[in-house]
Amino acid sequence: MKQWMLICLLVGFGQVAAQEIPIAFTGATLLPISGTPIEQGVLVVQQGKILAIGKASAVRIPLNAQRVDLSGKTLMPGLIDTHSHVGEAAGADGSAALQPDVRVLDALNVLSPSLTRARAGGITTVNVMPGSGHLLSGQTAYLKLRKGKTIQELLLCKDLLNEVCGGMKMANGTNPMRDNGTFPGTRARSAAMARQLFLKAQHYQRKVQDAAGDASKMPDRDLQMEALVQVLEGKRTVHFHTHRADDILTAIRIGQEFGFKPVLQHVSEGWKVAKEIAASGFPASVIVIDSPGGKLEAMEMRLETGATLVKEGVLMGYHTDDYITDSRLFLRSAALGVRAGLGREKALESLTLAGAKMLGLDHRIGT
What is the mean pLDDT of the segment spanning 20-35?
94
Does a structural domain hold residue 7? no
The domain boundary, picked from 75, 101, 123, lies at 75
pLDDT score of 113 more than 90: yes
pLDDT score of 13 more than 60: no
65 lies in the same domain as 119: no
65 lies in the same domain as 102: no
Does a structural domain hold residue 9? no
Distances in Å between the alpha carbon of 50 and those of 23, 64, 105? 10, 16, 29
21 lies in the same domain as 129: no
Domain that holds residue 163: 79-358
42 lies in the same domain as 120: no
For position 319, what pLDDT does the model report? Answer: 98
SS3 content of the chain, % helix, strand, coil (to 5): 30, 20, 45
119 lies in the same domain as 59: no
Does a structural domain hold residue 366? no
As for how many domains the chain has, the answer is: 2
Does a structural domain hold residue 273? yes
DSSP string, 2-37: -B--B--TTS-TTHHHH-SS-EEEEEEEE--SSS--
56 lies in the same domain as 196: no
Mean of the per-residue pLDDT values for the chain? Answer: 93
Q: In the structure, what pLDDT confidence band is assigned to residue 1 with cuts at 50, 70 and 90? A: very low
The domain boundary, picked from 75, 99, 115, lies at 75
Task: Specify the higher pLDDT residue, 11 or 160.
Answer: 160
Helix (H, G, I), strand (E, B) or coil at 233: coil
Tens of pLDDT along 215-271? 999 999 999 999 999 999 999 999 999 999 999 999 999 999 999 999 999 999 999
Q: Give the separation between CA 146 and CA 123, rounded to whole angstroms.
A: 10
What is the mean pLDDT of the segment spanning 76-88?
97
Residues 6 or more apart whose Cβ sits within 8 Å of residue 179? 185
- For residue 160, give the CATH number of its domain: 3.20.20.140
Tens of pLDDT along 142-167? 999 999 999 999 999 999 889 999 99
The domain boundary, picked from 75, 92, 119, lies at 75
What is the mean pLDDT of the segment spanning 89-102?
95
Tens of pLDDT along 317-342? 999 999 899 999 999 999 999 999 99
